[in-house]
Amino acid sequence: MRLELSVQADADLADILAFGMENWGPAVGSEYFLSFDRSFKMLCESPMIGPAMPALGRQVRSFRHRRHRIYYETDTQRVLILRVLHSSRDVWRAFK
């Protein structure tokens, strides 16, 4: 199964990296950013692992990664990462 990032998810990850580098320094910021790769691989191996989030969209699921949640859709060939949001974010607003 292949992984794809939406434009919004790509921007979310860039913001996470910038925030981490600025607030925790290059080593910790980079480590946290790179740790998402493990979760993305897990989602590609077991795409149904996250609970369904029908209020956000018919096919939307979520998966917790430390202080963030990964919102994604899946089909028979890919996992599409829609957003990567901090747990304190207003998810409903982010999906409007």
User: Is residue 61 within 8 Å of residue 52, measured between CB atoms?
Assistant: yes
What range defines the domain where residue 19 resides?
2-94
Residue type for position 15: D
Give per-residue pLDDT as tens, 11-62: 999 999 999 999 999 999 999 999 999 999 999 999 999 999 999 988 999 9
Is this structure's pTM higher than 0.75?
A: yes
Q: What is the CATH number of the domain that holds 58?
A: 3.30.2310.20
Mean pLDDT of the chain: 95
Give per-residue pLDDT as tens, 69-95: 999 999 999 999 999 999 999 998 988
H or E element that contains 73: strand 68-74
Number of domains observed in the structure of the chain: 1
pLDDT at 57: 85
Instruction: Return the exposure string of 25-41: e unless at least 16 CB atoms fall within 10 Å of the residue's CB, then b.
Output: eeeebeebbeebeebbe
Chain length of the chain: 96
